[in-house]
Amino acid sequence: MVFPYPLPLVPVPVSATAEEGRMPVATGFRIAGPAPAATQLIAAIERRSGIRLVEADGGAEIVLRVDSAVAASEGYTLTVGDRVEIIGADDAGLFYGFQTLLQLLRQDEDGSWGFLRAQIADAPRFPRRGVMLDVARHFFGVADVKRFIDSTSALKFNHLHLHLSDDQGWRIEIDSWPLLTERASASAANSDPGGFYSKDDYREIVDYAASRHMIVIPEIDLPGHTHAIGVAYPDLVEAPVLGDDLVADSARLGQPLPVSGEPYTGWGVGHSSVRIHEDRTYDFIRDVVRELTEMTPGPYIHVGGDESLGTPQADFDLFAARVTQIVVEAGKTPLAWHEMGSAGDIAEGTVGQYWGGTTAEDAHAAEAARFVARGGALIMSPSNAAYLDMKYSPDFPLGLDWAGTIDVQTAYDWDPTAVLDLPDAAILGIEAPLWTETARTWTDVEQLVFPRAAAHAEISWSPRAAPERSWESFRERLGAMAPLWKAEGISFHPSAEVPWSAR
């Protein structure tokens, strides 16, 4: 089997040397190393090839170990010669090392399996490599979220942002405000079924993500995108603001307009707001943040802040200052969409998430820069390159196109430090969000996410100046992912831009 580039790996490592031949692998080969890494690798190799390894204390063909001296945090070295040795700088590095090993596992024409021989040294470019799943527009259960964690952590993503509330539904159990799930969780976009995560469900997701070295970031979108809160507690939310754009878009799409106290199943934005001058609103937010904090070991609580089109700027400024401070008082770092940077007194250290274009408009750039000026940093999610819910092409049946169409090359050809005029150190990394207005099934989700998530994985992990960091190299290496994704049951979109491998 001959590949046009030295090693068919995504994301491309910092340093990789291909060597002649393969190391054969067969049932009964031994693996030695710490759990859960050894257990996870055994299961993954069996799914990929049908070959079952056995755990051993020594004399193994595959050896896993941790040594902080080999690389920076999350880094690893991988050697495939007469045996395999993966050394992680930490447990996460060991996990990422065996994800790379799985990509080296190849089947020959005679049906035998082997690892491509190589020497690899690797570590991430950015500490923050995220994906977002919107479970508010359409709800997806625990099993689906676990699948999402498996498939994205395999690409070395390490943060999962769950968009848990929006106009269409509320998705997380809050003991102190029980009507949120009793009255506001059953609805979804397109009048599809809703749902919610019990606290045990949420903890199960958090624990599962941690086992794959992913940090969960819960988001409660505020002060806009809050119509569902008003379905449960009408006294917390203002009457909908029915702007001309909302009315026109609803008519064009054949969707209903929002009505106070009734579930909203359309896609329109900007019509809702919590009551910013009511003390009870902040009692509600404190309770929600407190209960999320109790269940969330990660450092962030995301408080939204986007598309509050019906909220006067003075009210928005007041709200932004109060909500970010509530998160700080709960012991977490507030995270918000970049519009919240328009408020002068957001809490020190608040992290912004930029979703403007790769060519930043002045207003959006100024809002994003405010987070840095206040001692925070930025996560880059430019909507015309990183949004996974945009169509691949104008005729693609899924997705939207308000930010443009995003084929795989467009998803690949951008850089997080080149969008805004800020120091590189101000950029924590990236996030690729999936909004789910049009994603009604799990197959829809995977079609939109894969293969574009692989492009974002390489952008966030691999050095910008690496020799193989080019579209021509990437598309060939990406094509070699097809057998692995098929073995894992991932329903990826077979874009014609990519030469997909059959073996």
- Residue numbers annotated as active site: 307
SS3 32: strand
SS3 457: helix
Whether cis (ω within 30° of 0) applies to the bond prior to 223 is yes
Whether the CB-CB separation of 462 and 14 falls below 8 Å is answered with: yes
Task: Give which of 36, 32, 33 is closest to 66, Cα–Cα.
Answer: 33
* DSSP code per residue over 71-110: SSTT-EEEEESSSEEEEESSHHHHHHHHHHHHHHEEE-TT
Task: Give 201: exposed, middle or buried? Use CB within 10 Å, 0-12, 13-18, 19+.
Answer: middle
Tokens of 219: 């988001």
Whether cis (ω within 30° of 0) applies to the bond prior to 451 is yes
Distance of alpha carbon 59 from alpha carbon 39, whole angstroms: 17
Say if strands 215-222 and 169-170 run parallel, antiparallel, or are unpaired: unpaired
Cα Rg for the chain, rounded, in angstroms? 23
CA trace torsion 312, 316, 318, 319 (10° rounding): 130
Task: Give which of 190, 202, 179, 183 is closest to 138, Cα–Cα.
Answer: 190
Say if strands 105-107 and 113-122 run parallel, antiparallel, or are unpaired: antiparallel
Please provide the size of the chain in residues. 503
Distance of alpha carbon 291 from alpha carbon 284, whole angstroms: 11
Q: What are the phi and psi torsion angles at 258 (to 5°)?
A: -70, 140
